[in-house]
Amino acid sequence: MQLRGTIALLSLLATSAALVVVGCRNLPREQLAQLRAPDTPTTAVDLVVPPFRGRLYNDLVHVTPEAPGAAFDVDFEPVTATIVFASDGYTERPKLFTQPVAGGSPVQRTFGIGTDIQPKWSPDGKWIAFASDRDGNFDLYIIPSDGSGGAWQVTRDSADELHPSWSPDGESLAYCARDERGIWHLWKVHLEGGIRTQLVPGLFPEWSPDGSRLAFQSPSLRGPGRDELWIIGVDGEGLTPLPTAPDAGAIQPSWDPYGDRIVFSTITEPVKRPWDQPRAADLWIVDLNGAPPFRLTDDQAQDYAPTWALDGRIYFTSDRRGGHRILSLEPIGPVSPFGGDPPLFPEETP
């Protein structure tokens, strides 16, 4: 079973065209809660994307070792400089592993039956939230990061729940859940009281560093595999679209440590089956000050599932050496704003 975890879910999200979101600013929640006809008029975000003029990153590092299977769904813990990720390279089905970024052998953190994917460190580094189908469908679980105890099951619905994201205070999780019609919605749950709140249709929510907003992806009227990125307040208000790459789906957003920029992945070709691997996936960055997005990686590798860590580096999955591994890089980007004089880019290097 190759990449039966995250890649299957990534493909499912890229092909879930049943939900159509109107691309206009500050759309009321009441409108988002309804399905829209494919011919519904839209107000598109103006896209002015500069040409690619050389690499916009330094210090590309292969973090996980070459091994059978794949490593994916990475998250970074800054105090111990340790990553957690999912892998099917050592087990029949994907499990969670931790590894210091400085090197060393991966340590297995989940066991038993089921597929364990999409791990996220708690802000204090003591817990790891993740999604697992160990009880038949995907629910959310939390385990102690030091392996000292069992798993706490957070959700128990018959539908799938995926992609937990911790609030900065560590008291809540945002996630996405599929309803009986097959439509994905954003939810948040307060862990102590178990109070859950449904927000808007969407997938892969990521909590902003200041705790006020969520970035997420949602299918668009551009067709299957053409997801778009949005930001919404955690109170469900202030829905705003983000400019993303034209002629490509924008997926898997991740905030920078200051909440000023978002890195995301693009897919130019919709996948046909849930277990297919993404094609022509690149990493892009969008600045929330209104500047157009720019491409961070531009090659034939599949670069996806980025997370912007507190050490300033971006960790992501890539097949640059033939197998899916965890890599990291240091983004640099333009040194002057887009518009007016052309931005300055570093020269392309081998």
Q: CATH number for the domain including 292?
A: 2.120.10.30
Q: How far apart are alpha carbons 327 and 317 in whole angstroms?
A: 6
Average pLDDT of span 142-165: 92
Q: How far apart are alpha carbons 251 and 31 in whole angstroms?
A: 22
Quote the pLDDT of residue 17.
Answer: 30
Quote the pLDDT of residue 44.
Answer: 37
In a domain, 338, yes or no: no
In a domain, 346, yes or no: no
In a domain, 347, yes or no: no
In a domain, 45, yes or no: yes
Residue 222, both tokens: 């551009």
In a domain, 1, yes or no: no
Q: How far apart are alpha carbons 47 and 281 in whole angstroms?
A: 19
Per-residue pLDDT tens over the stretch 304-344: 999 999 999 999 999 987 789 999 999 986 543 333 333 33
Quote the pLDDT of residue 293.
Answer: 87
Domain that residue 80 falls in: 6-331
In a domain, 342, yes or no: no
User: How many domains does the chain contain in total?
Assistant: 1
In a domain, 345, yes or no: no
3-class DSSP state of 316: strand
In a domain, 350, yes or no: no
DSSP string, 111-160: -SSS-EEEEEE-TTSSEEEEEE-TTSS-EEEEEETTS-S-PEE----SS-
Average pLDDT of span 226-247: 89
